[in-house]
Structure 1
Amino acid sequence: MNRRVVITGCGVVSPVGSNVDTFWESLVNGKCGIDLIKKFDTADLKVKVAGEVLDFDPLDYIKKNEVRKTDIFTQYALGAAIQAMADSGIQDHIDPTRLGVYMGSGIGGIHTLETECAKMATKGPSRISPHFIPMMISNIAAGTVAIRFNAQGPCVSVTTACATGTNSIGEAYRVIKHGYADAIIAGGTEGSITPLAVAGFTNCMALTTTTDPSQACIPFDKRRNGFVMGEGAGALILEDLETALKRGAKIYAEVVGYGNTCDAYHITAPHPEAIGGARAISQALAEAQELGVILEDSQIYINAHGTSTPLNDKSETLAIKKALGDNITRTLVSSTKSMTGHMLGAAGAVEAIASVLALRDGVVPPTIGYSEPDPDCDLDYVPNVKREIQSDLALSVSLGFGGHNGCLAFRKYTGV
């Protein structure tokens, strides 16, 4: 069975807005969601900036007694999933056994872990919360979303570091394509801006120590020196096209390709020849071409991983050039992380939504903060100002610690 798969709902919690409309308006207008950390004192930390979610109220989505029983990463997931389900209108039009959840997290409940470890050290084991384990484990976001919507189909929590959101959507696409479900709530979530996590990423030399928020995350710029942590969640409703048409669903775009590879090279550094990243993009493009996409027919938009680290941006540029070949001259590349920071396990999901909305509106969000070109990064990165585009194809690329590479391909849906 090879069914067509479309996107019928989207939901976002992000540093630039906690609903889809605000998120998208912020991106196309180049609004930066990175600022000095406000959630805790950074006096003892080298890193002072992050992309924090500051406009999210969990009580908009869950009851007060549920808030104290859930980690913030699960709250973000619920917020995004509830938005996406409402947007899609699918709830009363699907057999619960044919509705699934693929919601991942790179880290899981580190807020809870940090809090309970402090209790253990200062007050002893008797004071550990009975909710500690179910709040912390990284699969609980997927399970909680499934419970909320009575989704009795496949429920999987993907954990592939920074590629988590992309892999969640890609694997959900395959599940629907091959007939194991009719719809999936797919995406990623992360709530890991804590003193422990920031210190850990800092000491593995991953984060920027730049204190000017406007210059902290500058993907593909020669001055880049590390990524900025972000947080939030993204959720998309993936649905069998026939099912969507029967119920008269609004369709954002069609999923037409997915690539999934591993560098098998290093736990944090990308392969210097970008072999795995190039293969993931090539796999997604090959599948899209099998489904009728003609690469030469229009411009291509790539929402890049674009973390603002020296190695990633150089390697990703090479991967894109290897995979696109002659089509690179019609390709626009931008990194929305320049505005959101790196949302880790949620990044691929919110960036997939950005890619889909770019197709819908014919607008590519910019890479902000870009001013000094790097000879090793020589593509069109849509610097600082949005760009109109006539495109039928968008790619979203994610590259994670452990060598995980993922790429999603989306086609503009025209009713054909």
Structure 2
Amino acid sequence: MTDKRVVITGAGTVNALGHNVDQTLEAMREGRCGIGPLKVRDVERLAVQIGAQVQDFGAEQIFNRQQMALFDRFTQFALVAAREAIAQAGLNFHGDLSAKSGVVLGNSGGGMQTLDENYRTVYEDGKNRVHPFVVPKLMNNAAASHVSMEFNLKGPSFTVSSACASSNHAMAQAFQMVRAGMAPVMITGGAESMLCFGGVKAWEGLRVMSKDACRPFSANRSGMVQGEGAGVFVFEELAHAQARGAEILAEVVGFAMSSDAADIVMPSKQGAARAIAGALENAGISRDQVGYINAHGTGTAANDKTECSAVADVFGPHADDLMISSTKSMHGHLIGGTGAVELLACIMAVRDGVVAPTIGYEEADPECALDVVPNEAREAKVDVALSNAFAFGGLNAVLALRRF
């Protein structure tokens, strides 16, 4: 059986840069920053008081009271993004298409907002009872389950949880299923919402957080900044998409996953390099075909140096011709949802010929001596783009996209 070709026919998002794809891509083109002062309960008790929060979301206007009782904020984001993606794709799931199509989403923390609120209720307020829907609201698979229910997706549906690589791992699984002929269509991506008191307080303990800005690859960087939101895509078999005259945003051509098998938090150059080289091999593309890499680029010294070193190792002399940027400088680090929002930058590069910048870049770092597209977006013809995700636990996943 020959492999099917897999294309993206729909995209949706909610993040600190915008409530949809158009707003997000416009912000990326303009190099706008979505990071600002956190608006959370007890913010004055936090050492880190900035984040890339989704502003003016208005969930009460989007969902009814029964839904609000069931949907944590990460599920709300996932549903809004899925609605946008599936509307763009123009798909209705019934009959055979419904039976075979599914959803794979990435998520790391589950319903952190729900967890935070209910711990308060029990520990701080001393109440002995919580809402009967707390468990279905906070479980990691809640978003995937609600997307499958809303759109009648009866095929393979599950959630991948591998920290900051969750979305890329999820999209890799969805890609593999469509490529192998298991499903004609898969809804995939990721969602996260950890910007609550407990979520930020936990990350503070790692001492990798910046108190002022996310400046990937810049010598004066001071750490990562958390974000929240979702990115959701329609991955579809090419023949299926063409038969119905769907607009194609990009082609997914390969992926690879690797494990550092080394340290729970320190990244490994070799692990990252294996994932990058593996994605090229899986896609059947040569190094010199790659024009853009959306870096994991967290703005921590450990990540930035390791990632640049891995890219230099894999690409050799071609590394000097590559553009590599970190959009986390704008939308923050969405943990389990980050790869999904970053895939939008890869689509923009191959489809529109616009490469999103690394904003906040102030000072060259000799250990990150690549073209990091500093501060301003760039017009360039990009045939192939890679999206990197390197997670705590040493779990790596890289996706390859090609201009269609």
CA distance in 2, matches of 1:220, 1:161: 22
- Kept in 2, the 8 Å contact 1:105–1:346? The answer is yes
Q: 1:235 aligns with which of 213, 232, 247?
A: 232
Q: 2:358 aligns with which of 367, 376, 383?
A: 367
Look up the match of 1:208.
Answer: 210
- Kept in 1, the 8 Å contact 2:35–2:331? The answer is yes
Give the Å deviation of 1:303: 0.5
The answer on 1:248 being equivalent to 2:239 is no
Residue 150 of structure 2 aligns to a residue whose secondary structure is: helix
Give the Å deviation of 1:60: 5.3
Map 1:4-403 to 2 at 5 A.
Answer: 4-59=5-60, 61-92=62-93, 95-122=97-124, 126-210=128-212, 216-271=213-268, 274-289=269-284, 293-296=285-288, 300-403=291-394
CA distance in 1, matches of 2:151, 2:210: 39
Gaps of 5+ in 1: 211-215
Give the Å deviation of 1:74: 0.6
- Kept in 1, the 8 Å contact 2:280–2:286? The answer is no
CA distance in 2, matches of 1:339, 1:225: 15
User: What amino acid does structure 1 have at the position aligned with 2:371?
Assistant: D
Task: Give the total of aligned pairs.
Answer: 402
Stretch deviating more after TM superposition (177-186 or 32-41): 32-41
CA distance in 2, matches of 1:316, 1:111: 32
Residue 91 of structure 1 aligns to a residue whose secondary structure is: coil
TM-score computed with the length of structure 1 as normaliser = 0.94
- For each residue in 1:366-386, what CA deviation from the matched residue of structure 2 results, as whole angstroms up to 9, or x when unmatched? 101101011111100000011
CA distance in 2, matches of 1:201, 1:124: 26
Residue 185 of structure 1 aligns to a residue whose secondary structure is: strand
CA distance in 2, matches of 1:303, 1:89: 28
TM-score computed with the length of structure 2 as normaliser = 0.97
Gaps of 5+ in 2: none
Give the Å deviation of 1:82: 0.8
Give the Å deviation of 1:122: 4.2
Residue 366 of structure 1 aligns to a residue whose secondary structure is: coil
CA distance in 1, matches of 2:60, 2:252: 33
- Kept in 1, the 8 Å contact 2:69–2:133? The answer is no
Residue 399 of structure 1 aligns to a residue whose secondary structure is: strand
The change in CA–CA distance for 1:113 and 1:286 in structure 2 (over 3 A counts) is same
Give the Å deviation of 1:61: 4.2
Give the Å deviation of 1:42: 2.0
Residue 70 of structure 2 aligns to a residue whose secondary structure is: coil
Give the Å deviation of 1:387: 0.9
User: What amino acid does structure 2 have at the position aligned with 1:57?
Assistant: G
Identity fraction in percent: 41
Give the Å deviation of 1:268: 1.3
CA distance in 2, matches of 1:122, 1:395: 46
- For each residue in 1:235-265, what CA deviation from the matched residue of structure 2 results, as whole angstroms up to 9, or x when unmatched? 0100000100001111001000101011111
Look up the match of 1:213.
Answer: none
- Kept in 1, the 8 Å contact 2:287–2:315? The answer is no
